[in-house]
Structure 1
Amino acid sequence: MVLVFALGYAGIIFEESLAFNKSGVGLLMAVCLWVIRSIGAPSTDVAVQELSQSTAEVSEIVFFLLGAMTIVEIVDSHQGFKLVTDNISTRNPKTLLWVIGFVTFFLSSVLDNLTSTIVMVSLLRKLVPPSEYRKLLGAVVVIAANAGGAWTPIGDVTTTMLWIHGQITTLKIMQGLFVPSVVSLMVPLALMSLTSEANGSSQTSSSLLSSEQMAPRGQLVFAVGLGALVFVPVFKSLTGLPPFMGMLLGLGILWILTDAIHYGESGRQRLKVPQALSRIDTQGILFFLGILLSVGSLEAAGILRQLANYLDANIPNADLIASIIGVASAIIDNVPLVAATMGMYDLTSFPQDSDFWQLVAFCAGTGGSMLIIGSAAGVAFMGMEKVDFFWYFRKVSGFALAGYVAGIITYLAGQNIPLSLPTSLADIPFITGS
């Protein structure tokens, strides 16, 4: 099974060279691994039971992603994000660097790092002409999107995985990782501000931005869509049901709303949910499905537990293990890394909201910024702006590494300094819900 997983993983890593789509490789790998598991299991019934349990866990994440991506696509099709982009008016290159960074950071904390990257890179195309400076701003978007997604349960798919499966809770992850995430962004921003690209003459141009008009009732769709995303943790806290149910509730409300406001408008079908569903990254969702099912097979076979025992015996420091996971996520996709970690260590080894799980969330979320292929945000940036691996490695990787290390140091140092919240804030169900 390990050999099949390694071969499948190699196919995913080198998909560009092999011309094989990673989603197809992931699905093929998952099926092959479960076939092998069914042969090696004590009985077929045992393997089927294990597969059913794994599928139930994976489907929660798949449905969550499907709902979230559809909601964001609906808002984007209504040009709802113009409410954010229209307020970016600075023409100073250094100031714009920081503005883009923090807008992306907070946008990613509510949406997800991939969607935030797509939105912000699209914005940069309208703000800045093609140049080294625009590439640098795009790199800032990648770093900020990954940092912003690490400190909320819905900002990054790996953090969402940990949240859905109970390793972290909303309040604790926001308390524990907000400051380290900010530091992991501010350090690269400060270093990038010293580069020649960030100290050149103004290159911004807002003429293209004004040419795009928001769709009718776009502000309403933006408000409802954003509210639906933010309401998910509240729903989980109030009902105790899995987060994907809250996401599907929000999607259902937005679906009915868009059908109502565009009733009888045959020329606006692209603004409705059926058209949005045709535009979302379905192959990305299938990739997650294949990877998570593959990792589930390794967990069912006990391979991940053996790996955990090996790491415990040879690397007794849990913080170091989490840090290594982050570095590895710059080379290997962080989704299977976190999925494997969840299979290696259960809640009896490290309780809910322990330092280990929080550090895993931070490291897996931000470590991918060190290489352009290390995160979905980086891959999206590479495809949209035609940035090559070695440009990013020369110009950005060092800055991202500095931010990564600074964030870890900040987190470890802050464990002895409790972060208190106002009583009124701590009483909100969304904040205190597990």
Structure 2
Amino acid sequence: MTIVEIVDAHQGFKLVTDNISTRNPRTLLWVIGFVTFFLSSILDNLTSTIVMVSLLRKLVPPSEYRKLLGAVVVISANAGGAWTPIGDVTTTMLWIHGQITTLNTMQGLFLPSVVSLAVPLALMSLTSEANGSSQKSSSLLSSEQMAPRGQLVFAVGLGALVFVPVFKALTGLPPFMGMMLGLAILWILTDAIHYGDSGRQRLKVPQALSRIDTQGVLFFLGILMSVGSLESAGILRQLANYLDANIPNADLIASAIGVASAIIDNVPLVAATMGMYDLTSFPQDADFWQLIAFCAGTGGSMLIIGSAAGVAFMGMEKVDFFWYFRKVSGFALAGYAAGIITYLAAQNLPLSLPTSLAEIPFISGS
């Protein structure tokens, strides 16, 4: 969170947003969707939503179309965060506790995540809002200036985030140590860049720390402690036994958890699932854990209150629950179902992605 805040303070994300030049409504729908998708795979879905909705407010005047684009951002952020271990809180939880690994998760969930975004985008492209006249951009976007060395800070910050799973794979140490190392490098860099300039204090790490949402961190800590107490009392094991007896199909259980995450916060749901089923029930990288990561990450898109991204969009654009339910929930549900079907189909087909350069024909020379 601190790294993202520092990059944002330097206007580093302008490197991404300045390259969005199209004003065709239908094309802009797809561009915004996939920019958010890949941005969220590196950042968290909440930060990606805030960045992209802020961009939309400068690109598109207030209208139904801008609300629709904001809804696309929510769906894209949740889909993009599901296929990498650092893109969503729930995926990160599963990764840290050993239920999933980086490479297998990215290979297994990338295609379902793309499908869960592409289906809603295709359906939204048929709506009247996406087939209107070209949009005029605001002059605010070009008037904002990037802070000194903003490009360097963006590159180092992005590298620090991507470095975390690599650090864990190389050293076997906890991921937070890799994140702290990346933050330390960025701290030294920003102090060196802005040394002696009192007007740039807001661009340094101490000021960034004061802007971090610590209440959210404490909220997640409270949830994990509460779930831990339920696990210690044996209640979660009883619930797991009940589900196994009444819903013998693990895929249905994972899908149901995803639907429930549209109403209940996905963090306690995933934490409870981890307490209900240990690695003896489902080993590391089992289909169940990957499906949990996908369903809990994307299921929240079905209702605006189902994810942190949706709640942020609601607050920033003053979108009400029923507008989202009428205009977007059906599209999100279609994408959710299509993503699950894609995942199950891929697991039952004899297909595999290359795990090394030597396995790629045109590189290996075969």
Query: How far apart in 2 are the matches of 1:311 and 1:427?
Result: 41
Q: Is this contact kept in 1: 2:45–2:309, CA < 8 A?
A: yes
* Secondary structure, counterpart of 1:168 in structure 2: coil
- What is the aligned length? 366
Q: Is this contact kept in 2: 1:326–1:366, CA < 8 A?
A: yes
How far 1:282 sits from its partner (Å)? 1.1
* Secondary structure, counterpart of 1:144 in structure 2: helix
C-alpha change, 1:237 and 1:432, in structure 2 (3 Å) is: farther
Query: How far apart in 2 are the matches of 1:238 and 1:187?
Result: 37
Query: How far apart in 1 are the matches of 2:362 and 2:152?
Result: 23
Runs of 4+ deviating beyond 3 Å: 418-434
Q: Is this contact kept in 2: 1:169–1:433, CA < 8 A?
A: no
1:339 alignment partner in structure 2: 271
Q: Is this contact kept in 2: 1:334–1:375, CA < 8 A?
A: yes
1:377 alignment partner in structure 2: 309
How far 1:423 sits from its partner (Å)? 5.0
**Unmatched 5+ residue regions in structure 1?**
1-68
How far 1:424 sits from its partner (Å)? 3.5
C-alpha change, 1:389 and 1:426, in structure 2 (3 Å) is: farther
Q: Is this contact kept in 2: 1:104–1:148, CA < 8 A?
A: yes
Q: Is this contact kept in 2: 1:326–1:363, CA < 8 A?
A: yes
Q: Is this contact kept in 2: 1:79–1:218, CA < 8 A?
A: yes
Query: How far apart in 2 are the matches of 1:274 and 1:385?
Result: 30
Cα deviation per residue 1:10-64 (whole Å; 9 max; x = unaligned)? xxxxxxxxxxxxxxxxxxxxxxxxxxxxxxxxxxxxxxxxxxxxxxxxxxxxxxx
**Unmatched 5+ residue regions in structure 2?**
none
Q: Is this contact kept in 1: 2:354–2:360, CA < 8 A?
A: no
How far 1:278 sits from its partner (Å)? 1.0
Cα deviation per residue 1:218-255 (whole Å; 9 max; x = unaligned)? 00000000000000011001110011110111011101
Query: How far apart in 1 are the matches of 2:346 and 2:358?
Result: 20
Cα deviation per residue 1:204-226 (whole Å; 9 max; x = unaligned)? 30421100000000000000000
Cα deviation per residue 1:129-188 (whole Å; 9 max; x = unaligned)? 111000000000000000000000000000000000000001111111100000000000
Query: How far apart in 2 are the matches of 1:242 and 1:135?
Result: 40
How far 1:419 sits from its partner (Å)? 4.4
- So what's the TM-score if we normalise by structure 1? 0.82
Are 1:208 and 2:140 counterparts? Answer: yes
Q: Is this contact kept in 2: 1:158–1:338, CA < 8 A?
A: yes
Cα deviation per residue 1:267-289 (whole Å; 9 max; x = unaligned)? 00000011111111111111101
Cα deviation per residue 1:385-426 (whole Å; 9 max; x = unaligned)? 110000000000000000000000011111023543445359
- So what's the TM-score if we normalise by structure 2? 0.97
Cα deviation per residue 1:61-109 (whole Å; 9 max; x = unaligned)? xxxxxxxx00000000000000000000001000000000000000000
Query: How far apart in 1 are the matches of 2:251 and 2:316?
Result: 35
* Secondary structure, counterpart of 1:423 in structure 2: coil
Q: Is this contact kept in 2: 1:173–1:358, CA < 8 A?
A: yes
Query: How far apart in 2 are the matches of 1:80 and 1:390?
Result: 35
C-alpha change, 1:397 and 1:179, in structure 2 (3 Å) is: same
Q: Is this contact kept in 2: 1:170–1:430, CA < 8 A?
A: no
Query: How far apart in 1 are the matches of 2:32 and 2:198?
Result: 37
Query: How far apart in 2 are the matches of 1:104 and 1:86?
Result: 14
Aligned Cα root-mean-square deviation (Å): 3.2
C-alpha change, 1:273 and 1:427, in structure 2 (3 Å) is: farther
Seq. identity, %: 93
Task: Tell me which of 386, 411, 416 is aligned to 2:318.
Answer: 386
